[in-house]
C-alpha cells in the first residue's frame, strides 16, 4: 500500500529535474542488453588519482592523529568542525584580503543542503502569509534549485538575453537587467558561478549589479561556487569571487574529489549564517565530521587549492578542448548549433536554434543511436514564460573519455541533418 503522504511529503518524494532523467538513464543502462552506450550524461566527477591520493593521505593523517576519536566518536557543533572553520577563515582572509570571523562560516552536509536551508529560510510564506520569492536571476541554472523549496510557487527565474559571439557557433547568456526586478516580495537570490549546466561565468560587473540591486532591500544573494575558485577551481576564465554584506559565498568540496563526504561551505553575514545554522540543527544536527576533518588538512596545507589549479582544472579544460574540436570537425556548418562559451564547470551546453523536435525527443533519438545526453529543459526551474529555447538545448558532460566525447559528437552530428529535415515540429511542440 502506498504511504499516505502530506503535501510536503508528496512533493519532496518526487524526483525533479535531472534526477528524473538520471533514473531513465540508469534504467536504460541496466535493462538494455547487447547495446553499448556512450554516456555523455554523467554529473559525477571523474576520480583523478592525485586528488584521490590527497584524500587518502589526509585520511591516513587523521587516523594516526590524537584527534581521530574526538572527530568520529563525538557530536560537534552545528556550525561545523572548528579546525575546518579556522582553515577556511585563514584561506579566504589571506587569499582575498578579507576580515572574516568564525561566526561567518557554516558547514553543511553538501551544498545542496545549504540551498534547501536558504530556499526555505528566505523563500515561502512569511508569518503574514506573504509569499517570498527565491529568485534565479539567469535561467537556465542548476536543476537542483528546482527541488529545494517546500513552496514551489516561490521559485521565480528570469529569462536571459542571448549574446551571439563573434566566433561562429558560440553564444553566451547574460542577465536581462531590463526585466530583473527585486522588491519586498523577494526573499533571496541564488545563482551558480560557474554555472551548471552552461559553463557561464557571470562577469564581475553583472554580479555586482545583481548584488547592488538586492542590497538596499536587505536581500541575501547566495552565489553558488560549487565549481569556483579556490577549489575546485573549475573556472577557465580568471575571476575573483564577489564579497559584499548581502552575499553568501557558497562552496562545495564535491567537485574537488569529495562528493561522497558531503561537505558544503557557506561564508557570509553572521545573522544569516546563524539563522541557517539553527535551521540545520533542526534538520540534521550537523555535517559529518570525518569529511570535515580531512578537508581541514587538505585546505590548511594548501594542497587542495594547488591541486585544483594543477590537476582538476587542466583535466576538464582539456576535455572542453576535445569537445570543441569534435564539434568543429563533425557538426554540420549549415545547422544553427551554438555552444555556450565554456568559462567553467564540467559541461558543454548546446543550443540547436529552431530545433524541429523537442529536447526530450532529441534525447530519445540520441539514446536510440547509443548516445546518452541530458535534455536541457529541466535546467529552467522557476521560469514561468513559455519559451521555445527551453526545448532546444542539451547538456554534454566532460566526464567521458576523449574517445567517447569524439564518438558521441560524431553520432549526434550524423543525426542532426535528419532531425532538421524532419516535419515533426508542429506535433512535438
Ligand atoms: C551548481 C551546483 N550547485 C550545487 C550542487 C550540489 O553539490 P553538493 O551538494 O554535492 O555540494 C551541484 C551538484 O552537481 C551543482 O552542480
Per-residue model confidence as pLDDT tens digits over 316-357: 999 999 999 999 999 999 999 999 999 999 999 999 999 999
Q: Do domains 7-46+312-428 and 50-306 have the same CATH topology?
A: yes
The per-residue pLDDT for range 180-191, each reduced to its tens digit, is 999 999 999 999
Is the C-beta atom of 112 inside 6 A of ligand 1? Answer: yes
Measured CA distances, 388 to 72, 139, 391 (Å):
51, 13, 6
Question: What per-residue confidence (pLDDT) applies to 428?
Answer: 47
Distance 226 CA to ligand 1 centre (A): 6
Is the C-beta atom of 254 inside 6 A of ligand 1? Answer: yes
- Would you tell me which CATH number, out of the four given (3.40.640.10, 3.30.365.10, 3.40.50.12780, 3.40.1410.10), belongs to the domain 7-46+312-428? 3.40.640.10
Is the pLDDT score of 427 beyond 90? no
Kindly give the number of the ligand 1 atom that is closest to the alpha carbon of 194: 1
Kindly give the number of the ligand 1 atom that is closest to the alpha carbon of 264: 11
Q: Where are the domains of the chain?
A: 7-46+312-428, 50-306
Distance 103 CA to ligand 1 centre (A): 24
CA atoms of 122 and 142, how far apart (whole Å):
18
Residue with CA at minimum distance from ligand 1 atom 5? 112
Is the C-beta atom of 226 inside 6 A of ligand 1? Answer: yes
CA atoms of 241 and 229, how far apart (whole Å):
8
CA atoms of 264 and 387, how far apart (whole Å):
33
Kindly give the number of the ligand 1 atom that is closest to the alpha carbon of 254: 10
The topology (CATH level 3) of 50-306 is 3.40.640
Distance 198 CA to ligand 1 centre (A): 14
Is the C-beta atom of 308 inside 6 A of ligand 1? Answer: no
Task: Name the band, by pLDDT with cuts 50, 70 and 90, for residue 429.
Answer: very low
Task: Name the band, by pLDDT with cuts 50, 70 and 90, for residue 423.
Answer: low
Distance 356 CA to ligand 1 centre (A): 32
Distance 44 CA to ligand 1 centre (A): 10
Average pLDDT, whole number, for the chain?
Answer: 95
Amino acid at each position: 500500500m502506498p504511504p499516505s503522504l502530506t503535501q510536503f511529503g508528496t512533493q519532496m518524494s518526487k524526483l525533479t529535474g535531472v534526477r528524473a532523467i538520471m533514473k531513465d538513464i540508469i534504467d536504460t543502462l541496466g535493462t538494455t542488453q547487447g547495446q553499448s552506450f556512450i554516456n555523455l550524461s554523467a554529473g559525477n566527477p571523474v576520480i583523478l588519482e592525485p586528488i584521490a591520493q590527497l584524500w587518502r593521505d589526509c585520511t591516513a593523517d587523521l587516523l594516526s592523529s590524537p584527534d581521530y576519536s574526538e572527530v568520529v566518536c563525538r557530536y560537534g557543533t552545528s556550525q561545523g568542525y572548528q579546525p575546518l572553520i579556522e582553515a577556511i577563515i585563514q584561506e579566504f582572509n589571506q587569499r582575498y584580503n578579507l576580515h572574516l570571523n568564525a561566526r561567518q562560516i557554516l558547514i553543511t552536509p553538501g551544498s545542496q543542503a545549504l540551498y534547501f536551508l536558504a530556499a526555505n529560510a528566505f523563500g515561502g510564506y512569511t508569518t503574514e502569509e506573504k509569499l517570498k520569492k527565491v529568485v534565479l536571476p539567469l535561467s537556465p541554472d542548476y536543476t537542483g534549485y528546482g527541488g529545494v523549496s517546500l513552496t514551489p510557487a516561490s521559485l521565480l527565474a528570469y529569462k536571459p538575453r542571448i549574446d551571439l559571439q563573434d566566433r561562429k557557433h558560440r553564444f553566451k547568456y547574460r542577465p536581462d537587467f531590463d526585466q530583473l526586478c527585486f522588491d519586498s516580495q523577494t526573499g533571496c537570490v541564488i545563482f551558480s558561478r560557474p554555472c551548471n549546466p552552461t559553463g557561464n561565468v557571470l562577469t564581475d560587473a553583472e554580479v555586482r549589479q545583481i548584488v547592488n540591486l538586492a542590497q538596499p532591500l536587505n536581500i541575501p544573494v547566495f552565489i553558488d561556487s560549487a565549481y569556483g575558485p579556490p577549489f575546485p577551481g573549475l573556472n577557465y576564465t580568471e575571476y575573483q569571487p564577489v564579497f559584499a554584506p548581502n552575499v553568501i559565498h557558497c562552496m562545495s568540496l564535491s567537485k574537488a574529489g569529495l562528493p561522497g563526504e558531503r561537505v558544503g561551505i557557506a561564508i557570509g553575514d553572521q545573522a544569516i549564517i546563524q539563522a541557517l545554522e539553527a535551521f540545520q540543527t533542526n534538520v540534521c544536527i550537523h555535517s559529518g565530521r570525518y569529511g570535515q576533518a580531512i578537508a581541514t588538512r587538505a585546505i590548511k596545507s594548501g594542497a587542495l587549492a594547488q591541486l585544483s589549479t594543477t590537476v582538476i582544472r587542466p583535466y576538464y579544460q582539456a576535455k572542453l578542448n576535445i569537445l570543441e574540436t569534435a564539434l568543429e570537425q563533425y557538426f554540420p556548418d549549415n545547422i544553427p548549433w551554438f555552444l555556450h562559451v565554456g568559462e567553467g564547470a564540467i559541461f558543454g551546453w548546446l543550443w540547436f536554434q529552431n530545433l524541429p523536435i523537442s529536447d526530450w525527443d532529441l534525447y530519445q533519438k540520441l539514446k536510440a543511436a547509443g548516445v546518452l545526453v541530458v535534455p536541457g529543459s529541466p535546467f529552467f526551474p522557476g521560469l514561468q514564460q513559455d519559451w521555445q529555447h527551453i526545448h532546444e538545448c542539451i547538456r554534454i558532460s566532460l566526464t567521458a573519455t576523449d574517445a567517447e566525447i569524439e564518438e558521441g559528437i560524431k553520432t549526434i552530428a550524423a543525426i542532426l541533418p535528419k532531425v532538421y529535415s524532419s516535419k515533426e515540429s508542429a506535433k512535438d511542440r
